[in-house]
Structure 1
Amino acid sequence: MSAERIYIYKRYERFWHWSQALLIIAMMVTGFEVHGSYHLLGFGQAVHWHSLAAWTLLVIWAFTIFWQFTTGEWRQYLPSLQNIPAMIRFYAYGIFKGEDSPYHKTAAQKHNPLQRLTYLALLAVISPLIWGSGLLYLFYAEWGNLGLDRYLSLEWVAVAHTLGAFLITAFFFVHVYLTTTGHTVFAHIKAMITGWEEIEENSKH
């Protein structure tokens, strides 16, 4: 079966993706240790590396936001309701029957409608939840000076941060699973390493 190779993921995009993935893994491992789920590094070291990974990711995100807006890549994340029923059917049923995806990515449109809605939820709900609670956690000692101690409870901030962590973890594992749903198990992962996506001829519109 022949396939066409198209250049989908730019160099910075690939750097951003893999660095973000590694930092999120680091934050999951250290974060759940801080939470008391297991003992690996020790509480102090876990807090240190968790905070370092978080600050590093924030810096990368700042550069990425700049890159997104200067290159126009932010348009890739604009939500669309087009073909939503078809995508839901594909992920719920068709994918297990070996059917072709009703959506085929291009350099101009890399994400299907469900992915766009998922990223919107990630950016609009989950990210503010986990980053807002995380920063409040980090600067807990300053609550009194800022007057926040009159309105906030450390317990509820901890609950919010833990909820955000579980949501990010769920997103991570679903994302990893979906990387295996290409025409080969590692096709999507290979594309994110090389930048080149292989599109099967009989699946193109």
Structure 2
Amino acid sequence: MSKIYIYKGFNRFWHWTQAALIFFLTVTGFEVHDSIHLFGYEKAVYFHRIASYAFLVLIAFAIFWHVTTGEWKQYIPNVSKLSAQIKYYTSGIFKKEPHPTKKTQVSKLNPLQAFTYLGFKLVLVPMMVISGLLYMFHKTVDGNNEIVIRDISLGSIANWHSFGAFLLVAFVIVHIYMTTTGHTYTSNLKAMITGYEELDDEKVADDEKNKAE
């Protein structure tokens, strides 16, 4: 096994900051819906709004980083190996079969991860951002409270935002579970903290070959 620097500094910062903001937005969002009681309704609304702005700033930096570094290519799934990856996670992993794809510095995500994260970035996050902004600015901030978005009811916007929130919670739960499927239960977690991951020497050799090509 060789230790390879897989996750760069901003990659780790973005990952953990995004995780913290999603957790905080979930907690305050559930309190706004009166599902839990922690900060109080008014503070929960205020904190949820501030965290949502922070999330938008983080998204802007993440988009810039992905585009300028070429990391966006990580999310292009290899469709030819997608079925093999699904089969591995649904049955092969429980039979201790070998992983159908190799994780390298050049290719960090397997086909199913790439497909899932692509959907997260292109569908789920935009759904939450757009519905959240529509909800916040459904009325003007002056004393008149005039409805500025008349074609879409506030109730339908709230339903879409809540639906997206439940999908987001489900995604996080599955994501946490998937971190335990490395060569040890904590190897993936350690890699996202330190940036270094232990890879088979064969994988490292393949990675160096891909770089040379």
- TM-score tier after normalising by the smaller chain length: over 0.9
Residue pair 1:100, 1:203 contacting (<8 A) in 2 also: no
Q: CA deviation at 1:198?
A: 0.7
Give the match for residue 123 of structure 2: 125
Which of 25, 28, 35 aligns to 1:27? It is 25
CA distances 1:115-147 after superposition (whole Å, capped 9, x unpaired): 111112112221121111100111121398685
- Counterpart of 1:196 in structure 2 is 196
5+ residue gaps, structure 2: 207-213
Aligned length: 202
Pairing of 1:84-95 with structure 2 (within 5 A): 84-95=82-93
Looking at structure 1, the residues matched to 147 and 40 of structure 2 have their Cα atoms a distance apart, in angstroms, of 31
SS of alignment partner, residue 140 of structure 2: helix
TM-superposed CA distance for 1:32, in Å, is 0.9
Equivalent residue, structure 2, for 1:184 = 184
Instruction: Give the Cα separation in 2 of the matches to 1:77 and 1:171.
Output: 16
Q: For residues 30 and 77 of structure 1, what CA distance do their matches in structure 2 show?
A: 30
Distance in 2, Cα, partners of 1:101 & 1:111 = 12
Instruction: Identify the match of residue 139 of structure 2 among 130, 138, 141.
Output: 141
In the alignment, the residues of structure 2 paired with residue 187 and residue 69 of structure 1 have an alpha-carbon distance, to the nearest angstrom, of 28
8 A contact 1:5–1:198 mirrored in 2: yes
Q: Where do residues 101-180 of structure 1 align in structure 2 (5 Å cutoff)?
A: 101-142=99-140, 147-149=148-150, 151-180=151-180
Question: What is aligned with 2:46?
Answer: 48
- State the identity as a percent: 49
Instruction: Give how far 1:178 is off.
Output: 0.3
RMSD of aligned Cα (Å): 1.9
Counterpart CA distance in 1 for 2:4 and 2:80 is 24
